[in-house]
Chains A and B, each alone.
Chain A
């Protein structure tokens, strides 16, 4: 065997021997460390800690999984991490001031950014990096989400306690819905018929019909022995089949499991301290929960609803996003 052939064979053997070759990459923004931690989903080992701009919070992965976009609020821009190179390769200074949370449409060409200090939603063309428009909303905009058909955008404003619905074609506000105090995240159900809005201080999740813009139902959370004011809903994610919702409950150190059809709270899973935002493994089998106070990520098995492990990341973990291995 010649040298080149040996090298090729060894490389193949090494690749197949390494479990990480099949692993998804879990990205976690660390608000206090100015980094994004990358974790191997199989070994749960840290692959890399990527330096970013200041105060990284909201993160979203592009539909082609090639880029992770990070709000770096204190630098008033978005940083873009190449998900192969695992480094910041460009930035969008056009994000508007103090970006906190963002979403990208499913077509992958529009980025919607909540500008916390300025009461605006900024719409950015992903390819030119230019701001297309700024949409005035309430005070302290936070949650951002785009509907599955890319037609509707929702933003929440914490101080105004509203969900603002925006027509994605015209960028005009269609409806402003008063929800409970200090709304944080807004998430569309998989079929796009509802938006779920968490209210941190109000302690509820409002379920809003996306046709009528009426609140259909308000979820409240109750764990015996836990003071009601600690039940503070923040992050919301739906399982891939759309039947179950997970709601992170902040200082109660729990994630609620909700039946989407009946709105029944099925169980509460104990995680780390102050669970904040969540993400599902793309194949839908695991849920990753960022715990702000314990500086770790809890891995929950979706089938058994059991917390399996926790992984230490940076300080004040905030957002989570996952890139599947196959992409």
Chain B
């Protein structure tokens, strides 16, 4: 796909007439964070998650745009681990204020709170942090990534349907583990389950390749999980890939596992093929020569959000696009069988959540029977009456 050599941030005075050329620059800001190696050798170590999805999304936008005289360009900025994210963010904001943020919460807030970003539209494609949709929400930050609360609710609805109502919660010690575990506790209460016990697991990860590692793990996991109260299922909150992979087949009491491992709640998975999803899997594979991860999907979807808003509104200026994204007319398709839109109260994309095992789809939430007066997908996550997000009008 040919990308234009020079592209403006957005066309000044853009008209709603699609025949008038629109040039749309989308910025991608990421950072080279240290990421845990997957425990399983089956899982590839991927270093370009996210940005590859954004590239495909922009390429999809271009395919539509060439019929409408609209062009798109992706400006990629990946800051090194110890780099100056603020400087890089400022530089990127010089060329565009439509941004995809592949950033952890602290960096995302640094970006969002820059004076230069005041009128930007920043789409979070990485973090599930609930506070970013709550007390730390920002007027200029939209979320395509599902929150921890949405993921936990998606699992909790399924457990309610299965009547697996007593959970044994095992969590790691990182901040994210605690956040996901908190969301699980909230979800249990919301959907009528009980957490029989919460146990913190601090486990030395280092066994990935050691010769006799499996023997150690075989002995350790039963000890770490011994004498639990009666439960139907183990919930794992192990975002750091420390112990979750080792739970199945090794817990002291034989139970299935859900959460960060076993049955996972995600926006995308390589085993997902519903609603034409196999087409996106194939196109991504052809382009990136690897399978599409959840972060790739979120970045693809975020790029499509911008494309859809420009195509449908026929405008490319920031205030028109922001208004359109929040209007009732906006919807984006993402191979989930329904249009998806942003919640007005916290700018979170409402979306069905995939529940999948390692190799095949198990279910999609919301589950049948969980009702909502407006959007069934609003049964997942934080609804308007309970939000802690206070956005200025």
Residues of A within 8 A of B (CB): 98, 116-117, 119, 138-140, 157-162, 164, 176, 178, 181-182, 201-203, 227, 229, 232, 251
Contact = CB atoms under 8 A, between A and B. Distances in A.
B285 to A, nearest CB: 10
B63 A181 contact: no
B63 A178 contact: no
B194 interface: no
B360 interface: no
A158 B276 contact: yes
Interface in B186-232: none
Interface in B327-345: 331-333, 337-339
A116 B279 contact: yes
Contacts of A178: 18, 68, 311-312
B283 interface: yes
A202 B308 CA distance: 13
B376 interface: yes
B279 A117 contact: yes
Interface string B263-295: 000000000000010010011001000000000
A54 to B, nearest CB: 13
A181 B331 contact: yes
Given A181-B333, A201-B339, A162 B279 contact: no
Contacts of B63: 119, 138-139, 157, 159-160
Given A162-B67, A178-B311, 13 more contacts: A117-B283, A138-B63, A138-B67, A140-B279, A158-B276, A159-B63, A160-B63, A176-B68, A178-B68, A178-B312, A181-B308, A181-B332, A227-B376
Interface string B1-43: 0000000000000000010000000000000000000000000
Contacts of B311: 161, 178
A201 B333 contact: yes
A229 B279 contact: no
A201 B338 contact: yes
A251 B64 contact: no
Contacts of A202: 331, 339
Nearest to A176: B67
8 contacts: A139-B64, A139-B283, A140-B276, A161-B64, A178-B312, A181-B332, A201-B339, A251-B337
A139 B339 contact: no
Nearest to B352: A229
Given A116-B279, A140-B276, A227-B376, A159 B60 contact: yes
Given A117-B279, A117-B282, A160 B339 contact: no
Given A181-B339, A201-B331, A201-B333, A160 B64 contact: yes
Interface of B: 18, 60, 63-64, 67-68, 276, 279, 282-283, 286, 308, 311-312, 331-333, 337-339, 376
Contacts of B339: 181, 201-203, 229
Contacts of B337: 201, 232, 251
A306 B331 CA distance: 35
A182 B67 contact: no
Nearest to B376: A227
Contacts of B282: 98, 117
B67 A139 contact: no
Contacts of A162: 64, 67
A201 B312 CA distance: 15
Which has the most chain A C-beta neighbours within 10 Å: B64, B311, B312, B331?
A: B64
Nearest to A181: B333
Nearest to B332: A181
A176 B19 CA distance: 12
Nearest to A142: B276
A266 to B, nearest CB: 26
A80 to B, nearest CB: 25
A229 B283 contact: no
B288 to A, nearest CB: 15
Given A117-B283, A229-B338, A229-B339, A138 B64 contact: yes
A227 B366 CA distance: 13
Given A140-B276, A251-B337, A117 B286 contact: yes
B67 A160 contact: yes
Nearest to B279: A140
Which has the most chain A C-beta neighbours within 10 Å: B67, B286, B312?
A: B67
A126 to B, nearest CB: 27
B333 A182 contact: yes
